[in-house]
Amino acid sequence: MDVWRKCGVCKKEILTGGIYQKCSISTCRKSVFCSVDCWSVHDSVMGHKSAYAEEERAPQNTQQDSDRPRRRMVVSSSKKSQDSDLPIDTLIVISKLKAYVKAKSGMNTSGDVADELSKFVRVIVNEALQNAQGEGRKTLMARDFSNIDL
Protein backbone atom coordinates (compact mmCIF):
# COMPACT_ATOMS: atom_id res chain seq x y z
CA MET A 1 0.00 0.00 0.00
CA ASP A 2 1.08 3.52 -0.73
CA VAL A 3 0.93 6.58 1.42
CA TRP A 4 -2.19 8.49 0.48
CA ARG A 5 -1.98 11.60 2.64
CA LYS A 6 -0.44 12.67 5.91
CA CYS A 7 -2.36 13.47 9.08
CA GLY A 8 -2.86 17.23 9.36
CA VAL A 9 -1.83 17.17 13.01
CA CYS A 10 0.77 14.51 13.74
CA LYS A 11 1.91 13.95 10.10
CA LYS A 12 1.44 10.21 10.48
CA GLU A 13 1.02 8.56 7.10
CA ILE A 14 -2.46 7.53 6.02
CA LEU A 15 -2.29 4.63 3.59
CA THR A 16 -4.39 4.15 0.49
CA GLY A 17 -7.49 2.18 1.42
CA GLY A 18 -6.98 3.05 5.09
CA ILE A 19 -9.40 4.61 7.54
CA TYR A 20 -9.03 8.29 8.29
CA GLN A 21 -11.03 11.06 9.94
CA LYS A 22 -12.14 14.26 8.33
CA CYS A 23 -13.62 17.39 9.86
CA SER A 24 -17.35 17.99 9.40
CA ILE A 25 -16.73 21.67 8.71
CA SER A 26 -16.79 22.08 4.95
CA THR A 27 -13.86 24.50 4.76
CA CYS A 28 -11.66 21.94 6.54
CA ARG A 29 -12.38 19.17 4.06
CA LYS A 30 -8.91 19.28 2.57
CA SER A 31 -7.38 18.26 5.88
CA VAL A 32 -7.28 14.65 6.95
CA PHE A 33 -6.55 13.15 10.34
CA CYS A 34 -5.25 9.74 11.33
CA SER A 35 -7.48 9.47 14.39
CA VAL A 36 -10.28 11.16 16.28
CA ASP A 37 -7.65 12.27 18.81
CA CYS A 38 -5.76 14.19 16.11
CA TRP A 39 -9.02 15.65 14.84
CA SER A 40 -9.77 16.81 18.41
CA VAL A 41 -6.47 18.70 18.41
CA HIS A 42 -7.52 20.33 15.14
CA ASP A 43 -10.97 21.06 16.60
CA SER A 44 -9.52 22.86 19.60
CA VAL A 45 -7.00 24.76 17.47
CA MET A 46 -9.69 25.88 15.04
CA GLY A 47 -12.22 26.59 17.80
CA HIS A 48 -15.10 24.96 15.94
CA LYS A 49 -18.46 25.34 17.69
CA SER A 50 -20.26 22.18 16.67
CA ALA A 51 -17.93 20.09 14.58
CA TYR A 52 -17.46 16.35 14.60
CA ALA A 53 -15.07 13.90 13.03
CA GLU A 54 -16.30 11.81 10.12
CA GLU A 55 -14.72 8.45 9.45
CA GLU A 56 -13.80 7.86 5.84
CA ARG A 57 -11.86 5.32 3.86
CA ALA A 58 -8.99 6.58 1.76
CA PRO A 59 -9.15 5.70 -1.96
CA GLN A 60 -7.19 2.65 -3.04
CA ASN A 61 -5.45 4.68 -5.65
CA THR A 62 -5.37 8.37 -6.09
CA GLN A 63 -6.55 9.41 -9.51
CA GLN A 64 -3.35 11.24 -10.23
CA ASP A 65 -1.20 8.25 -9.47
CA SER A 66 -3.20 5.76 -11.47
CA ASP A 67 -2.91 7.53 -14.79
CA ARG A 68 0.69 8.49 -14.22
CA PRO A 69 3.25 5.73 -13.96
CA ARG A 70 5.38 5.96 -10.84
CA ARG A 71 8.74 7.13 -11.97
CA ARG A 72 11.99 8.35 -10.62
CA MET A 73 14.00 11.29 -11.87
CA VAL A 74 14.01 10.67 -15.58
CA VAL A 75 14.80 13.75 -17.52
CA SER A 76 14.51 13.77 -21.25
CA SER A 77 17.73 14.67 -22.98
CA SER A 78 15.74 16.52 -25.58
CA LYS A 79 15.63 20.23 -25.09
CA LYS A 80 11.98 20.35 -26.02
CA SER A 81 9.65 20.14 -23.06
CA GLN A 82 6.62 17.83 -23.20
CA ASP A 83 4.18 20.69 -23.41
CA SER A 84 5.72 22.60 -26.25
CA ASP A 85 4.24 25.95 -25.26
CA LEU A 86 5.81 25.87 -21.81
CA PRO A 87 8.80 28.16 -21.32
CA ILE A 88 12.09 26.29 -21.20
CA ASP A 89 14.14 29.16 -19.91
CA THR A 90 17.13 28.58 -17.71
CA LEU A 91 15.85 28.50 -14.14
CA ILE A 92 19.25 28.46 -12.51
CA VAL A 93 21.29 31.55 -11.75
CA ILE A 94 24.49 30.51 -13.53
CA SER A 95 26.75 33.00 -11.74
CA LYS A 96 25.59 31.71 -8.34
CA LEU A 97 25.96 28.14 -9.50
CA LYS A 98 29.49 28.76 -10.74
CA ALA A 99 30.38 30.46 -7.46
CA TYR A 100 29.04 27.49 -5.52
CA VAL A 101 30.84 24.89 -7.61
CA LYS A 102 34.04 26.89 -7.34
CA ALA A 103 33.79 27.25 -3.58
CA LYS A 104 32.84 23.62 -3.10
CA SER A 105 35.38 22.00 -5.38
CA GLY A 106 37.54 24.62 -7.07
CA MET A 107 36.14 23.41 -10.38
CA ASN A 108 34.76 25.45 -13.22
CA THR A 109 31.22 25.09 -14.56
CA SER A 110 30.45 24.92 -18.23
CA GLY A 111 27.69 27.14 -19.53
CA ASP A 112 25.31 24.34 -20.50
CA VAL A 113 25.07 22.98 -16.95
CA ALA A 114 22.42 25.52 -16.02
CA ASP A 115 20.11 24.34 -18.78
CA GLU A 116 20.57 20.76 -17.70
CA LEU A 117 19.81 21.59 -14.08
CA SER A 118 16.77 23.55 -15.15
CA LYS A 119 15.26 20.32 -16.48
CA PHE A 120 15.53 18.83 -13.01
CA VAL A 121 13.96 21.90 -11.47
CA ARG A 122 11.01 21.60 -13.85
CA VAL A 123 10.55 17.91 -13.07
CA ILE A 124 10.58 18.57 -9.33
CA VAL A 125 8.25 21.55 -9.65
CA ASN A 126 5.84 19.49 -11.75
CA GLU A 127 5.71 16.89 -8.98
CA ALA A 128 5.18 19.53 -6.31
CA LEU A 129 2.41 21.12 -8.35
CA GLN A 130 0.57 17.83 -8.35
CA ASN A 131 0.80 17.77 -4.56
CA ALA A 132 -0.57 21.30 -4.32
CA GLN A 133 -3.36 20.57 -6.79
CA GLY A 134 -4.13 17.35 -4.90
CA GLU A 135 -4.89 19.49 -1.88
CA GLY A 136 -7.00 21.87 -3.94
CA ARG A 137 -4.59 24.74 -3.50
CA LYS A 138 -3.79 27.46 -6.02
CA THR A 139 -0.45 28.28 -4.41
CA LEU A 140 2.67 26.18 -4.62
CA MET A 141 4.20 25.91 -1.16
CA ALA A 142 7.48 24.67 0.28
CA ARG A 143 5.74 21.70 1.85
CA ASP A 144 4.69 20.42 -1.59
CA PHE A 145 8.33 19.45 -2.05
CA SER A 146 8.62 17.52 1.19
CA ASN A 147 7.54 14.09 -0.03
CA ILE A 148 8.94 14.05 -3.54
CA ASP A 149 11.13 11.03 -4.15
CA LEU A 150 14.28 11.81 -6.00
Indicate the residue among 13 and 116 with the shorter CB distance to Zn ion.
13
Indicate the residue among 32 and 128 with the shorter CB distance to Zn ion.
32
Residue 38 touching Zn ion (CB under 5 A): yes
Indicate the residue among 52 and 100 with the shorter CB distance to Zn ion.
52
CA separation for the pair 55, 49 (Å, rounded): 19
CA separation for the pair 139, 137 (Å, rounded): 6
- Taking CB under 5 A as the criterion, the residue among 5, 22, 23, 58 binding Zn ion is 23
Residue 12 touching Zn ion (CB under 5 A): yes
Residue 32 touching Zn ion (CB under 5 A): no
Q: How many residues does the chain have?
A: 150
Of the candidates 19, 8, 7, the residue with the CA atom closest to the CA atom of residue 60: 19
Question: What does the DSSP 8-state code read for residue 142?
Answer: G
Residue 10 touching Zn ion (CB under 5 A): yes
CA separation for the pair 27, 42 (Å, rounded): 13
106 vs 12, 23, 50, 83, 100, CA distance in Å?
A: 43, 54, 63, 37, 9
Please identify, among the stretches 35-43, 67-75, 106-114, 118-126, the one whose residues bind Zn ion according to the rule CB under 5 A.
35-43
Least distance to Zn ion, CB of residue 46, Å? 5
The residue ranges that bind Zn ion (CB under 5 A) are 7, 9-10, 12, 23, 25, 28, 34, 38, 46
